[in-house]
Every structure is written in structure tokens, then in C-alpha cells.
Structure 1
Amino acid sequence: MMRSTKTKFIAEYPINASSRLLYPYLSTASGLAEWFCDDVKVEANKIYNFIWDGRSHFAEMTGFRTNRSVRFLFLDENRQHVSDPSYIDFSIESSELTQEQFLKVIDYSEEEDQEELAELWEHLMQNLREIVGG
């Protein structure tokens, strides 16, 4: 069996919105569906179903700090844990110096093309900035 290697993509995006305003867009199904994917459904067992191009991707919110950060750990199509899972980590950070807000994204996935990932996230961030006015 071939073991897939995963890539960790890390980027910070300046965003002109308070963490209180931003956080629901990172942590709730309705918020995420507005900018991150086509749709998000939360199932009874708190499993998030992210839908892109009609395909389901199941994830669990494994860590969160209100108005600060959230992590989604991806599961297999049977909603089971896998070894070395993909995950997405969002954290809202601010610069003490400039009072600027940043959204830090860590995308750990099988997508090896860093340039493609950078373009994808740039596009997603534009969506998000338009919504939050940042």
C-alpha cells in the first residue's frame, strides 16, 4: 500500500475584522458555507460534512478556543479516524505592534502543489474579506 505524503501549507492573511465577528465564519456551519465551501451540514454526532462540488468530506472539530482558533480534523468516508489525518487549523492573531488582525491558516493535506494551495486560499480569503468587510 502506498503511503501518501502530506504537505503542510501555512499562511497568514491580514483581515480587518474583529475576532468576535470573524469567529462564527470559522466555526459554524452557516458561517463556513458562506465562504469556505459549497455547503456544510452538521450531523447529529457533531460531525461536520463539508461539501465541495457535490462531494462530502467529513470532519470533526477537535479543538477550539472561542473567538481565537478552531481545528477541523478530517475523517474517512465512513466518518472514522485515520492515521495521519488531514486537518485545517484557523487561528485569529493580532499584532500587538500594529493592532492588525491576521487569520493564520494551516492546511495539512495531500495537495502537494503549494502554488495551487496558495491561490486557493487567496481566493477563499477574498470571499471572507468581502463578507466581513475586511
Structure 2
Amino acid sequence: MSKKQLYTLEYPVRCSPSILYEFLSTPAGLQEWFADKVDERDQIFSFSWNGSIDKAEVLESEENSFIRFHWLHAPKDEFFEFRIEKSEVTNQTILVINDFADKKEIKDAGQLWGYQVKDLFHRLGN
């Protein structure tokens, strides 16, 4: 099995970091755009899509800055992360997504994130 590679996607967002963080770090916020249903218990998030459930634990987070998840079924060194940054030049809020995929699947994975982020932006009124 080939080792997955870390890749990064960046999206400019027109909203405050605190509002964006709510959509990235709470079950209610994530359920708005990321999965059909989201529950959380003891730092373990359960994500449901079309009846199938996948679980991820929160590895690390800092309010209004970032949250890092680890899929329970994935290798220990893999994660997906939502990071909120400010552009030094434009002062615009930037959503940075870090995730892992096989090299040949990075383009498809990036497209999937793009669709989901588009849904997030719709919810945010972007």
C-alpha cells in the first residue's frame, strides 16, 4: 500500500474567523456542510453520509485558529485539518485545509473538498 501524501488547499472566505471556526469545529456547524449528520462525544466526532458512519478524534485545536482531526481507521500519522489564517497583504480570512491522499487521488480529493467548501460558502453567505 502506498503512503499517502499531505496536500494543502486554500480558500479566501468573507466572514470572521470566529464564525468560520464554529462551522469547522462544532457538530452543528459541520452538519451544515461537511456531513449529513454529525455527533460528538468525548472529542470523538461521528460523521454520517448516506447512512455510513466514520469517526474521527480531535487531536488538537485552538479556538478561531485551527482544528485537527484523525480518522480512527487511518494510520496514526495522517490527519485532516482546518486552519484559519489572515492574509498579511489583504487582511482577508483564508480557510486552509490540510489532508492526506494517495498521489494519484489528490486531484479528485481536492475537487471533493471544493464541492464541500462551496456548500460551506453557501451557508456562510459567501
TM-score (normalizing by structure 1): 0.85
Q: Which blocks of at least 5 consecutive residues in structure 1 are unaligned?
A: 77-81
Tell me the percent identity. 32
State the AA in 2 paired with 1:31. Answer: G
**Alpha-carbon offset, residue 46 of structure 1:** 2.8
Query: Deviating runs (4+, > 3 A) in structure 1?
Result: 82-86, 109-112
- Counterpart for residue 63 of structure 1: 60
Which residue of structure 2 aligns with residue 128 of structure 1?
120
Q: Is the 8 A contact 1:87 1:109 kept in 2?
A: no
SS at match of 1:22: helix
Count, aligned residues = 126
CA distance in 2 between partners of 1:103 and 1:115 (Å): 18
The 3-state SS of whatever aligns with 2:111 is helix
Paired residues of 1:9 and 1:117 also in contact (CA < 8 A): no
Deviation, 1:83, is 4.0
Alpha carbon RMSD of aligned pairs, Å? 1.8
Structure 1 residues 109 and 55 mapped into 2: Cα distance closer, same or farther (>3 Å)?
farther
Q: Of the candidates 9, 21, 29, which is equivalent to residue 31 of structure 1? A: 29
Quote the residue 2:11 is aligned against: 13
Greater CA radius of gyration, 1 or 2? 1
C-alpha distance in structure 1 between counterparts of 2:92 and 2:79, whole Å = 26
Q: Which has the higher helix share?
A: 2
CA displacement, residues 91-110 of structure 1 (integer Å, 9 cap, x when unaligned): 00111211111100001245
Q: TM-score, normalised by structure 2?
A: 0.89
What is the alpha-carbon distance in structure 2 between the residues aligned to residue 56 and residue 85 of structure 1?
21
- SS of equivalent residue, structure 1 residue 67: coil
Gaps of 5+ in 2: none
CA distance in 1 between counterparts of 2:99 and 2:75 reads 16
State how far apart, in whole Å, the 1-side matches of 2:28 and 2:101 are: 23
Distance 2:40 2:58 in 1: 10
Preserved contact between residue 86 and residue 109 of structure 1 (Cα < 8 Å): no
- Contact 1:15-1:129 at 8 Å conserved across structures: yes
Deviation at 1:53, TM superposition (A): 2.5
C-alpha deviation, 1:12, in angstroms: 0.4
Q: Deviations over 1:14-46 (max 9, x none)?
A: 111110110010000110011011111113x33
